[in-house]
Structures are given as structure tokens and as C-alpha cells.
Structure 1
């Protein structure tokens, strides 16, 4: 629905009529989960911190049922708590989540229309900010990265397909409602997903697919010391890129997220393959591979066995009489894949841990640090016995050398992955700096309500959104390994010692 700029009275009547029409067409927004914070105790006094309405997607559910720390149900209460600390009253905070874009767009439109209708003299009221994380349909493999990873919402206004047409109408309705809100003096903070052609007052980006790929590749390069490798003894590296070719109804899935993850990986790893310092045991990656060759390493990953069989095949160990294949590093892309990679390597007989590779810390040192016995000191340590000799001090055979545990990377900070991080089976994971982002969003809302712009906030930078320079919240993602697990996850109360398997 297009909301035209006409006189205020006529516009409100038209919008209210539209809202009634939407209600008459069915309970389109009745499934939205709406939480009012103590509406019955509202005070007639104007609070200078203003009011905030938060609109987010309902949490996605992955088939694996494994849960990353990046969930909407986690960050929303943290934003609410931070808003209260910034002086926003509970009665001035509204929280709504929606399962799809159609319901969310109607929910936002209804809120804006009702707010305008109840605020005839808006300039005399305290400010209002809308925090909106647009709902997007995610494939199963995309959901494995958590709820926050950025997806651009685009549409074709002239689409003939009914599903595409419905999507376009929902997206346009959301954009129109947000623009109306801005025209009436409200502010908009757009979180994570962008909307085609729309520039908010402030943008709060989460991690992008390219950043997920770059982060893991950089950690792998550092741990394997790829800069010191040579073409005479290159590092053996595999990339496992999960994707879905079709959805449950057989319709073709959007694979752009997987493509961008690979692009990020190859921006970092590509030069090492080109120089011969890295090779792929399976031959799926070569010196001539470029960023467009994502399908060479992509595979269907909805089921555990698909991941395990793909890894065994890549290593040439899918036959009973196969000889061990040396593998130095595996970029698993997300923690769901990483856990299955570790399980399969165990089954195939690989031994040791990531801590054995170019060691600067020991597993015992990690355990002591996490449990609070002493601070972790990073320094060169003697090579693990797993590196070149067996328990009797004799030189290992080639097969034994080839069975050394590789570096495994992932993303999502799954609770189920924490024991593998602690024991060194998975070298690293990562996640958005969720608690800090929640505080930043809350501070931004109050500053917008009070001053009209996000001035003097040290986490605000300028970035281009929909062709317009836009104030943007900036926080780096958290790269997590056993060495910093205590500082990054346990001390900030993201996880407990029990979650880490301690």
C-alpha cells in the first residue's frame, strides 16, 4: 500500500481506513507477539527519554535444533534492559515480533498510524524511535549462522509471480510506514537487514556474509602461519560451504549468502593458493580458482550425515581401505558444520587438537585459565608429542603424521560447540558483539529522542545506506577461541562454565 503525502487530516483518515481494511481481510497481524511494558501504569507526565517500539523477526528454528548465541530472543531483552538504564520507562517500551514480512509490515503500519492518531500535537510530546529489524525468509543453511547475519531485502514491484508480488507489497508497505513515521517526527533505527531504497535515521548493521568468511580465513592464516609456508610443503586446506539448492517445496533457494561467504574466504585465502603455499587435498580449490567458483566447495548440509560424508569424500577416506590424508585446516563456515566435521575426524581416527598446531598455549593452561586458577600466558611451548613422534619418542610413520588433528573454524558460538572449543577440537568460532550492540542501540534511541540526532556517540560512524550517508553503529564481531573464551563469553555472562563443559 502506498501512503501518499496529503494533508494531515486526510492522510490519517486514509491510513485508518487502510488499517481497518487490513483487519477486515483477516487476522493478518493476530499472530504477532506483542509485549507492552506495564501499559496500565502509564503516567501523564512526559518522559524526556521518550518512547521506543522494537520490531524484530520471530526466532528461526534450525532442523538441527542446535542454537547459536545470536538469537532475537536474546538481544531484545538486553535492548529493553539497556533502555530502562538510559531512563526510558517500562510503559514507554513496546516489543513486537513477527514470523514474516507481511505481518511485520502491518504491525509497524498499525503502530505508526495509531501513534500519529493519538499525538495530534507531536511536537509537544517526547520523542519516539522505532527499532526495526526487517523479517527475511532464510534458507536452512543460512539459519545455521544465527539470526543476525545481514540479508538485503529487495523486490520487484512489477513481479508477476504471486509470492514475489506479495513479498513486494509487504516490503513496500513497511518502507511506506517507516517513511511516514519519519515525516511525522519519529526516528527509525534499522537493524541488520536493509530495505531496498530506504535510508533510516541510524543503521545498526550486524555481520555480513563476507565478514563471516574473511574472519575465519584470517584466523586460519594466522594459526597455520601460512605466510611461512612454501610451495614445496604447502598447507592442506579444505573449505566446506553449506548451502541449499531448493527449499522444502522444491523451489529454487537464494544462494547469494553462501556466495558471499565464499567471496570473503577467497579474498583472504586466494593469494596463498595462487602462490602454491596452500592446496586442497580434494582438488576443489586450485591456483586458478576465483571468487565466482563457490559451487566447487558448496554442498547440501541439512543433515549431519551429509556433512560427514562430504568430508570423508573430500579426504578420499570414504572407502574402508583408504589411506589417511593429511589435512591442516578446514573452514567449516558455521558451528553446525564444524561439530560434524570434528565428529567425523574422530571417527576416521585423527588425533590431537588444534592446540598442537604452532602451539603458543596448552590445553592444561586453557583449562586453568577458564576455571580461574591462573591467567593464561601465551608463549612458545614445546611441540606436542603428536607433532612428529609417538609416545615412545620414535618418529611417526607417514600415516601417523597424516592423522594429526587440523585447525577447524566455525561461526555462531553454538552452546553445543563450547566443549570442542575448550578441548581444542574446534580452533575458533565467532559471533556478533551482542551485549554491546544492545547498549549501543538503546543509547542511540534515547539520543535520537532527546536531541534528534545521534551526536557525540563514540560508536557511530558514517556509512552509505541506499545511496545516502547514514549514521551507523559500528562494533566488530567477536572472534572466540579457547585462549579468550573466558574473557569474551564467560565473564560477560554469554555462557556459563557448565556450557563450556567445565
Structure 2
């Protein structure tokens, strides 16, 4: 009993001493409030363990030309890493792994997950706050890659296929799904980026623009610029759609054209009603009022070679053999910037003049340049109402001057749309040869993914992240990061591409 009393007495004295010290510090705070607050914070703040993040992405796709889009994995990954560090993830806790095929990627993910599970089970005191960021490698065609690395694909397979290549692909895909499911079972989180995996539900999905959305975006921009809602069937707009696809692979085997079909599906969901009402027509006749989304093949062409783009356009305009008279063309949906670049070249070779800026008199090339270089703001006005349908050039007018005047009208430069924001295409945006392009909101997506990883590794609560919504996936509701693609034209190029640092003034041709 004596020992117990002695111990209690000592503890009481210690408590009184601590209380006196705290009171003394409080008295000092009246003289230096900021200093005491910092001291108190230093003594009580604990560092939150933001855990580990492992990023698995495809290697950058190789295209047939040096014209490559801004949407490349080698651009996105460093921005995710930088954002993770900004959100207190230690550099030593961030791992990046790339793979050129689904087979190699699935093996890499499996190896990491198994090794991680074994290492954490051997060390009972180790922290297991780990999130895997996985962008599954899709089996894409050359024309698919013209849209950039991020465009979303649904990765599906037939495990019962008799084709040897298909069997290998299915085996790789199933191995990736099994590895990711094991990771989830062991407490790790999975953020799936861009592509979906048949039979797998991630903790969070970060989709990129789908093929259908690529088509919709360009069609909507064209409808707005040409003001098709105000167009009359007596004077319809003349529109062509150039849809690139791969008819066969290098071995001559038929390839999957789903992506191209979906791009046209998106285009036709917007343009279809205007063709049906006669407000839009196709000079080549490839699209009519009775066309449907299943008629994608009528506007599709093999874009493996640049000359194929140019010859296809000349043929569509009926100028492949006779260039003495121009065919009226108001708008061309090129689908991506690779095709748009060669469309511009061919129109120039065929003698079309002017630029997209001429379609809206309030916007001039000098005004565009001044706006981009910061000399003045660009104020856009509505596209003027369409003029009356021009007289035919069949000689009824009886005057050569009228025919020449009509040809001058027909040779007016059309609206050209694209996608991918190729650095090589930006000067065409500036000079008005290409009306618009688009790209993923890469920097914002990188920040979103980083914040999501930290939340998954710490509280696990995503409700406070305003960019996340719930979307159905594999018959389940999955938290999904939502960011729209950035549509870019001359009027917003400076704000959208140059100021955020996607490209420099020099790259824009300025």
C-alpha cells in the first residue's frame, strides 16, 4: 500500500508540473499568439499516411506518321505523379509500370499483386494502403490510334474462340481480371482508367472520351458553326464525312471496325435529322435522307496512307479527274486531326480559298492571332443567315460571268473538324484552315485521379470529391470520374491549350 501511495503521489506531482507548464505557455500566448499556435500545431499534428500508388499504363501507341496527338500516356503519367506528390504521396511510394501488350501488362500486374500480398503478410505491422491505377492495354488498329492513346475501348473477349490469337488474348485478359480481383480481396483499391474490362468492377472508373462521343462532339460543333437549325432545305448545307478505318491488318486479316462504327454512330445521332429534313446533303451522295447509323461503311475509307485521304476527298467532290470547276462543300467531318491535315492539303491543291474564319465575318485571321497573342479579346457573333441558293451552273444563266461567280462561291473554304489536338494541326487552327479539334482534359484528369487515390488510401470516402458521380457498370453502381473533352477552336485556343501549358506559342506557329 505504501508503494502504491508513493507512485500515485509522484504521478500527481508530474501532472501538476505539466499543468503549470501549460498555464505558463498560455500566459506567453497573450504576448505572441502566432508563435504559441505554431508550437501547439507542431506538437499535435500527425502526418497522414497517403499510402502507395502503382500506375500501370500501356506504352505509347506508335502511329504511321510523326503527327501525334497530345493525348499520349507519356504526357499523362508524369502529371498524375506530380499531382500525387502535391497530395502528399511520397515519391518513393509511387511506382510506374508500362507494357506494350495486354499479355505483358497482365503478367506485370499479377507479379506485383502476388509479391505485395506476400510481403505484407510476412510483416504484420506493415501498412497496406495501396491503390492500383490501371489503364488496360487495348488491341487497337492504326486508325484507332489516330485519335490518341486515351480514347476508351471496351475490352471484351470470347474464351471459347478457336482462333489461337483470340485464345491468347482471352488468357491475358482473364489473368488481368484475376490479378485485380485478388488485389481487391486483399484490401487494395483499383482505379480503372480509360478502358473497361469484361467481368471486372473497379473501385473507381476514370473514363476517357468514347468513340461515339468523338463523333458527337465534332458533329455538334459543325451544326453550331453552320447554324443548321436555321438552314432551309431550299438551300441545304453540303457536308461530307470522312471516316478512317482499317480494312485489314498487316497480315491481311479482317480487323475489328467497332471503333469506326461508333464514331459514325455519334456523328449520325447529331447529323441524321438534318439529312432527313433536307437541310444537309452530301455532294458525293454517300449520305442521304434515308441513311442510318448502320451505313457507316458508305463513308469509310482506308486511311493507312496520306494519299488515300486526298484521293478519297477529290473523288467525293467529283474533282479527281476534272478540277476546272469546284464543287460546293460547306463542312467536312474529318474525324481526327491526322485526316484533317491531309484534307486541308487537298483542298488547297484543288484551289479552294479563304478560311473557316470567312464564314463568320466578325472573326478575321488577324483578329485570331491578336487574340491568341493577348493583344485583344475575340468577340464572336452569330453566323449570318444563309444566302439564297445560288443559281445552277448548267448554263441557264446565259452568261459566263455568272458561271465564274458561282464557281467562286463554290470554291469557298469549308468548316473542317478534327480530334486529337495534334501539335502539327494547331497552326491550321490559327490560320483558319481547320475549324476545331479536341482533346482530353488531361491536366484536370491527372489531378482527379491523384485525389481519388489519396482518398481511397486514407478515409476511403469519395463523397467530397465533386468530380465523381455514380455510374452503372457491370450491373453495379461505380464511382466514376467525370470530365468532358476540351473542344478547341481559334477563339479559345489561347485559354485552353497555351495558358495551361499543353503547347507553346512557337508550336502554335506564333
Query: What TM bracket, shorter-length normalisation?
Result: 0.7 to 0.9
* 1:188 match: secondary structure: strand
Instruction: Describe the shift of the 1:158–1:321 C-alpha distance in structure 2 as closer, same or farther (beyond 3 A).
Output: closer
* 1:469 match: secondary structure: strand
Report what 2:222 is aligned to. 220
Which digits, 9 at most, give the CA deviation of each residue in 1:177-210, with x for residues without a partner?
A: 0000000000000000000011100000000000
Q: Is the 8 A contact 2:233 2:279 kept in 1?
A: yes
Q: Please report how far the alpha carbon of residue 500 of structure 1 lies from its aligned counterpart in structure 2 after TM superposition.
A: 0.5
Supply the distance in 2 between the matched residues of 1:296 and 1:129 (Cα, whole angstroms): 45
Supply the distance in 2 between the matched residues of 1:442 and 1:402 (Cα, whole angstroms): 51
Q: Please report how far the alpha carbon of residue 465 of structure 1 lies from its aligned counterpart in structure 2 after TM superposition.
A: 1.4
Q: 1:309-324 maps to which residues of 2 (within 5 A)?
A: 309-320=311-322, 322-324=324-326
Is the radius of gyration larger for structure 1 or structure 2?
2
Q: Is the 8 A contact 1:224 1:358 kept in 2?
A: no
Instruction: Describe the shift of the 1:122–1:340 C-alpha distance in structure 2 as closer, same or farther (beyond 3 A).
Output: farther
* 1:292 match: secondary structure: helix
Which digits, 9 at most, give the CA deviation of each residue in 1:51-82, with x for residues without a partner?
A: 00000000011112211000000000000000
How does the TM-score come out when normalised to structure 2?
0.86
1:420 aligns with 2:428: yes
How does the TM-score come out when normalised to structure 1?
0.87
Q: Please report how far the alpha carbon of residue 452 of structure 1 lies from its aligned counterpart in structure 2 after TM superposition.
A: 2.0
Report what 1:287 is aligned to. 289
* 2:184 match: secondary structure: helix
* 2:293 match: secondary structure: coil
* 2:171 match: secondary structure: helix
Q: Please report how far the alpha carbon of residue 455 of structure 1 lies from its aligned counterpart in structure 2 after TM superposition.
A: 2.5
* 2:120 match: secondary structure: coil
1:275 aligns with 2:283: no
Which digits, 9 at most, give the CA deviation of each residue in 1:2-49, with x for residues without a partner?
A: xxxxxxxxxxxxxxxxxxxxxxxxxxxxxxxxxxxxxxxxxxx99611
Supply the distance in 1 between the matched residues of 2:374 and 2:345 (Cα, whole angstroms): 29
Supply the distance in 2 between the matched residues of 1:265 and 1:380 (Cα, whole angstroms): 23
1:253 aligns with 2:255: yes
Q: 1:189-204 maps to which residues of 2 (within 5 A)?
A: 189-204=191-206
Q: 2:381 aligns with which of 379, 383, 389?
A: 379
Q: 1:417-496 maps to which residues of 2 (within 5 A)?
A: 417-496=425-504
Report what 1:53 is aligned to. 54
Q: Is the 8 A contact 1:70 1:434 kept in 2?
A: yes
Q: Is the 8 A contact 1:209 1:260 kept in 2?
A: yes
Instruction: Describe the shift of the 1:150–1:381 C-alpha distance in structure 2 as closer, same or farther (beyond 3 A).
Output: closer
Q: Is the 8 A contact 2:360 2:384 kept in 1?
A: no
Instruction: Describe the shift of the 1:462–1:289 C-alpha distance in structure 2 as closer, same or farther (beyond 3 A).
Output: same
Supply the distance in 2 between the matched residues of 1:381 and 1:472 (Cα, whole angstroms): 37
Unpaired segments ≥5 residues, structure 2: 1-45, 391-400
Q: Please report how far the alpha carbon of residue 363 of structure 1 lies from its aligned counterpart in structure 2 after TM superposition.
A: 1.4
Q: 1:303-382 maps to which residues of 2 (within 5 A)?
A: 303-320=305-322, 322-379=324-381
Report what 1:401 is aligned to. 409
* 1:451 match: secondary structure: coil
Which digits, 9 at most, give the CA deviation of each residue in 1:232-255, with x for residues without a partner?
A: 100000000000010011111100
* 1:293 match: secondary structure: helix
Q: Is the 8 A contact 2:227 2:383 kept in 1?
A: no
Which digits, 9 at most, give the CA deviation of each residue in 1:465-493, with x for residues without a partner?
A: 11111000000000000000000000000
Report what 1:91 is aligned to. 92
Supply the distance in 2 between the matched residues of 1:323 and 1:361 (Cα, whole angstroms): 28
Aligned alpha-carbon RMSD (Å): 1.8
Report what 1:185 is aligned to. 187
Supply the distance in 1 between the matched residues of 2:313 and 2:477 (Cα, whole angstroms): 44
Report what 1:70 is aligned to. 71
Q: Is the 8 A contact 2:276 2:290 kept in 1?
A: yes
Q: Please report how far the alpha carbon of residue 122 of structure 1 lies from its aligned counterpart in structure 2 after TM superposition.
A: 6.8
- Does 371-380 or 78-87 show the bigger shift? 371-380
Supply the distance in 2 between the matched residues of 1:378 and 1:399 (Cα, whole angstroms): 28
Q: Is the 8 A contact 2:360 2:381 kept in 1?
A: no
Structure with the largest fraction of helix: 2
Instruction: Describe the shift of the 1:63–1:122 C-alpha distance in structure 2 as closer, same or farther (beyond 3 A).
Output: farther
Unpaired segments ≥5 residues, structure 1: 1-44, 389-393
Report what 1:28 is aligned to. none
Supply the distance in 1 between the matched residues of 2:232 and 2:111 (Cα, whole angstroms): 62
